[in-house]
Amino acid sequence: MNSPRLLIGLSAVMVALKEGEPLVLVSRRPSGEDSLPFGPFDPVNHRTFDLSLRGWVREQTGFEIGYVEQLYTFGDKDRDVPEATLTDTPTGARVISIGYLALTPEARPAGASFDARWQDWYHYFPWEDHRTRRPPILDAEIAPRLKTWAAGNERRLERARLAFGLDGARWIEERVLERYELLYEAGLVAECTRDAELPDTGVRLGASMASDHRRILATGLTRLRGKIKYRPVVFELMPDRFTLSALQRSAEGILGLQLHTQNFRRALEKAQLVAGTGQMETGTGGRPAELFSFRRDHASSISAPGLTAPRRSPD
Task: Please compute, for residue 28, the number of CA atoms within 13 A of its CA located in the half-sphere on the CB side.
Answer: 9
Q: What torsion do the CA atoms of 209, 251, 162, 128 make, to the nearest 10 degrees?
A: -40
3-class DSSP state for residue 194?
A: helix
Q: Are 72 and 120 in contact (CB under 8 A)?
A: no
Q: Where does 232-301 sit in CATH, by number?
A: 1.10.10.10
Rounded (10°) angle between helices 244-255 and 213-227? 130
Residues whose CB is less than 8 angstroms from the CB of residue 241 and which lie 6 or more positions away in sequence, other chains included? 277, 279, 291, 292, 293
Condensed to tens digits (0 to 9), the pLDDT of residues 265-313 reads: 998 888 888 999 989 987 666 678 899 999 988 777 666 677 766 666 5
Q: Are 151 and 188 in contact (CB under 8 A)?
A: no
Condensed to tens digits (0 to 9), the pLDDT of residues 13-61 reads: 999 999 999 999 998 887 788 999 888 887 777 788 888 888 877 777 7
Write the DSSP string, 108-152: PPPPTTS-EEEEEGGGT-GGG--SSS--HHIIIIIHHHHHHHHTT
Domain ranges of the chain: 6-121, 126-206, 232-301
Q: Where does 6-121 sit in CATH, by number?
A: 3.90.79.10
Backbone angle region of 137, left / alpha / beta, with phi > 0 → left and psi within -120 to 50 → alpha? alpha
How many other C-beta atoms are found inside a 10 Å radius of the C-beta of residue 254? 23
- Predicted TM-score (pTM) of the model is 0.88
Q: Are 249 and 240 in contact (CB under 8 A)?
A: no
Residues whose CB is less than 8 angstroms from the CB of residue 281 and which lie 6 or more positions away in sequence, other chains included? 243, 288, 289, 290, 291
Condensed to tens digits (0 to 9), the pLDDT of residues 141-161 reads: 999 999 999 999 999 999 999
Condensed to tens digits (0 to 9), the pLDDT of residues 84-135 reads: 444 455 556 677 888 999 998 888 776 665 678 899 999 999 999 999 999 9
